Structure 1
Amino acid sequence: MTARTAPVQTFPGKGLGNITLGASLHNVLTRVKSHPQTYPAIDLAYSSSDPLRKPVVLHLPSNGLRLRFDGPDQRLRLIEVLDFSKVDLVYKNQDVLKSGKSAEPTTSPQGPSFRHVYNRLFGPSYPGEYVPPADQSPFGTYVLSYPGIAFSFPLQHSAWSEHCDFVALLSSSAALSATSMAIFQGSSWPETRAKLFTQQPQYPRSSAVVSKARDSFADEIEEFHILGAGKLEVTRRTSAPLQINLGETTPQDLIAEFGPPDAIYRKNDRRISIHRAAGGDPLHLSPSPGRGMDIPDTDHSSNNSVTDDSDEEISPSSVSDPASLPSECFFNYFHHGFDAFISHPTTPGPAFPTSGLADPSPQPSTSQLTVTKIILHGNVPGSYPFNRHRRSRWAIHLDQSGNGLTSESPYDEISSQLRGVWKGAYGNADEERAMQRPMVLNRGWGDSPENSVEFLGGWEETTSKGPRAGGDSHDGGLGNTELFGFPGLLFEVLKNGAVSCLTVY
């Protein structure tokens, strides 16, 4: 979309070219990064202290575009054209900016005039919204809205009057050409503005799905509901909810519902297994008999496509023959936001004591491969694995009322509630403190495979005391996170308290 490229179609209420409202941040950013000649510069802005609840902004300065995504779901809510000289826009075979514009770049590029917008492009409109200048500037801004699209025109503040005919006013010398254009979902900008980041997007997370038959793509996942006892319910955009039972759901079940995985990796790395020691080791991981507090492998083998001694890539086409799968491997669903660990059945984690569910029964010995872990990726801006997966949203249902924790909850809140739920599972206070000490996980050393696990300092009791580090803290570029375990759940947490990854086992 750089200047002088092929014209880009404008679709009010839908998108700009192949960038569609409702698309996920992962989808858009992956598309943009795959065309470096078209998009030579990419700027991403987000809140370092609250990246999951405040908007994320993707700025493409060489293309004159700014894209705004909501924080919790990371879906595109607003497309803005800030520099009309850097992108050739077309609406129904009409140039949005009249031909004859100078080929030389200007310091303040002009957009289409009101007359061109009103007479040639979109026609009559209801009166718009005037925004007075915030400083001593002689110009305010008049926002002219149509369904799904709006233009901002500088207007001399001295000329503004609520009783003026806005058509005559914007056609006069008191108004300048448009300085920006916005594409959004809604009937007008004033009506949409208050619910811009909260209303349900009309279009799916993948731009490719918009123009193709629904049957050719697996339905997209909206949210994972973690019920405990190895049970997860998956809500989807159009299909009925689906239940995944750890130790029972097969790889073929996943493929039937979610399509073939984007990648498959053999699991060989067992460096974390040293922390499963029992007996006299003070770091034993079973606080009480039968509660299933064993900490699972955290090598998700999905953070890149590099093969090494730890992980071996397998062709996704091999899943058509279950016998060709190794005894342990990962199904990587990057576009769905999760990975599934495929192995021989194991007993899942216990039920939440407040849920009313029964603990799972031990799984019988069988050669049938099943899903034994689900890894849900947060795609948190600023985290080491950012943009490897699209964001996966989840909710933990601790009781039958439906109240619980969500993927946007700060870890301090999650920890507080889970400590209360599991308080009776610990033998004594010392055992409880030992189990809640975080393990430090490094994903950022350049000489380590990106999908491997590196531990720094083992269990660090001091980091669990007092509030977590704020957004301004850093780890020297190592990409360190902390692992916190509860029965059936393993949280990977960033310095700002955001949950980067949740493993359900």
Structure 2
Amino acid sequence: MLQRPRRRCEGTAMGAIVLDLRPGLGVGPFSLGMPICDAFAQIEQQPNIYDVVHVKYYDEEPLKLDIVISFPDHGFHLRFDPWSQRLRLIEIFDVKRLQMRYATSLIGGPSTLATFVAVYALFGPTFPGIYDKGRGIYTLFYPGLSFAFPIPSQYTECCHEREAELPLEFPDGTTPVTCRVSIYDSSTDSKVGVGALMDKACAPPLAAGSLYMEAVHVKLGEEIWFTVGGQHIPFGASPQDVWTELGRPCGIHQKQVDQMVIHSASDPRPRTTLCVDYFYNYFTRGLDILFDGQTHKIKKFVLHTNYPGHADFNSYMKCNFVIYGSDFGGSFHQGEGTAKRMITPSTKWEQEILGDCGRAAIQTQGSTSNPFGSTFVYGYQNVAFEVMKNGYLATVTLFQS
């Protein structure tokens, strides 16, 4: 579990914050479908509010479970699809810690209990909900919004196993109080709640023509090309060519030291030689482009997967690259249908896929700046793979041998 530096003790918030509730769309500054990088940007803009933040993920299999940003002081989670890294579900797990504003009314927080009666009065009539007998939870659904209510065991007869009547009040005159609120995309008409119902939430569809997660096809030793925009960027292209095709880079910086030059028998320069090469950084595309400082021609592309557990996590959006097996000049052949074999950000590294390249180089940024430890770099003709300890790719570097 990653954790931001704390400026105060967890659980000592001075009072509940108030966030606008947008059923089917989001809460406060967090919108369903937003990339995880955008969520972190919102957090960084309001450090006094979001000053205790937990990031949770499954380190061994990062594509198996959601990436979760949790705000324990404010009682809610943001759940991101692990493959697309887009927000698919917002869960308010402690309604007493977060006050929500809907239209002109408030609900939740320490002063306004989110009772069944209060929810029904604010959001209006709806169809009977679903009673989970095993969990003792009754879930009430509105488009893109659900409320879960615990039902005391002595009143389970008020609910049926499937669709139940609305339990506005129990026989003793009390009313159930919300224990969880879920906000999700309503375009699929799915009912999302606790337990297995939580898995039904999906990030909303991307807008037509969206460049987010567009496939970037790789032709090793020659070029990359973008499927949505149709841009082809070959090795040897100039900065002007790149600006024309991809627009202004997010950042430009000089490559200070070429740390791998010592491994090149054809280049006798000392390891500490300053390098005049420079990068164009396209953070929103998950891409770096390295130019030769003398010829001003492209010499490398670096593609980033943006997996949690890597030192560069949240510096780039994910690059959805596709490298076909036939590009490897025969080292990837395993019978017919080879052209359909490919390496993507979801590929788990197995060195034998490409053939033996010898021992991996070990790469680390030092224990102080990189708490996640070393990665391993495997080099082949025209491509090098940086592999994390869990076997997933962190970066792919393309070059001309």
| TM-score interval, normalised by the smaller of the two chains | 0.7 to 0.9
Aligned counterpart for 2:265 among listed residues 251, 257, 277? 277
Tell me the secondary structure at the aligned position of residue 274 of structure 1: helix
Unaligned 5+ runs, structure 2: 1-12, 327-337
Question: Which residue matches 1:177?
Answer: 177
Distance of 1:14 and 1:370 partners within structure 2: 44
Q: Is the CA contact (8 Å cut-off) linking 2:108 and 2:114 kept in structure 1?
A: yes
Matching of residues 401-480 of structure 1 within 5 Å: 401-412=339-350, 415-419=351-355, 433=356, 435-446=357-368, 477=371, 479-480=373-374
Unaligned 5+ runs, structure 1: 103-109, 135-139, 205-213, 282-298, 300-307, 312-326, 345-366, 420-432, 451-475
Distance of 2:341 and 2:258 partners within structure 1: 36
Q: Is the CA contact (8 Å cut-off) linking 1:154 and 1:177 kept in structure 2?
A: yes
Question: Which residue matches 1:44?
Answer: 55
Distance of 2:162 and 2:218 partners within structure 1: 58
Question: Which residue matches 2:282?
Answer: 333
Distance of 1:116 and 1:190 partners within structure 2: 21
Amino acid at match of 1:500: A
Tell me the secondary structure at the aligned position of residue 63 of structure 1: coil
Matching of residues 9-408 of structure 1 within 5 Å: 9-97=20-108, 101-102=110-111, 111-120=113-122, 122-134=123-135, 140-157=136-153, 158-162=156-160, 166-172=164-170, 173=173, 175-186=175-186, 187-190=189-192, 193=197, 196=200, 199=202, 201-202=204-205, 219-236=211-228, 240-248=229-237, 250-277=238-265, 328-343=277-292, 369-399=296-326, 401-408=339-346
Question: Which residue matches 1:484?
Answer: 378
So what's the TM-score if we normalise by structure 2? Answer: 0.80
Distance of 2:100 and 2:303 partners within structure 1: 39
Distance of 2:126 and 2:245 partners within structure 1: 46
Q: Is the CA contact (8 Å cut-off) linking 1:144 and 1:152 kept in structure 2?
A: yes
Q: Is the CA contact (8 Å cut-off) linking 1:64 and 1:81 kept in structure 2?
A: yes
Question: Which residue matches 1:305?
Answer: none
Distance of 1:271 and 1:406 partners within structure 2: 26
Amino acid at match of 2:216: F
So what's the TM-score if we normalise by structure 1? Answer: 0.65
Distance of 2:14 and 2:95 partners within structure 1: 9
Structure 1 residues 143-152 or 20-29, which shifts more? 20-29
Instruction: Report which structure shows greater RCO (CA 8 Å, sep ≥6).
Output: 1
CA RMSD of aligned residues (A): 3.4
Distance of 1:52 and 1:310 partners within structure 2: 39
Distance of 2:242 and 2:96 partners within structure 1: 47
**More helix by proportion, 1 or 2?**
1
Amino acid at match of 2:167: L
What's the CA shift for 1:77? 0.8
Q: Is the CA contact (8 Å cut-off) linking 2:116 and 2:178 kept in structure 1?
A: yes
Quickly say closer, same or farther: Cα 1:245–1:195, change in 2 above 3 A.
farther
Quickly say closer, same or farther: Cα 1:28–1:200, change in 2 above 3 A.
closer
What's the CA shift for 1:228? 2.7
Q: Is the CA contact (8 Å cut-off) linking 1:230 and 1:488 kept in structure 2?
A: no
Number of positions where the alignment pairs a residue of Structure 1 with one of Structure 2: 366
Quickly say closer, same or farther: Cα 1:252–1:149, change in 2 above 3 A.
farther
Question: Which residue matches 1:351?
Answer: none
Q: Is the CA contact (8 Å cut-off) linking 1:3 and 1:63 kept in structure 2?
A: no
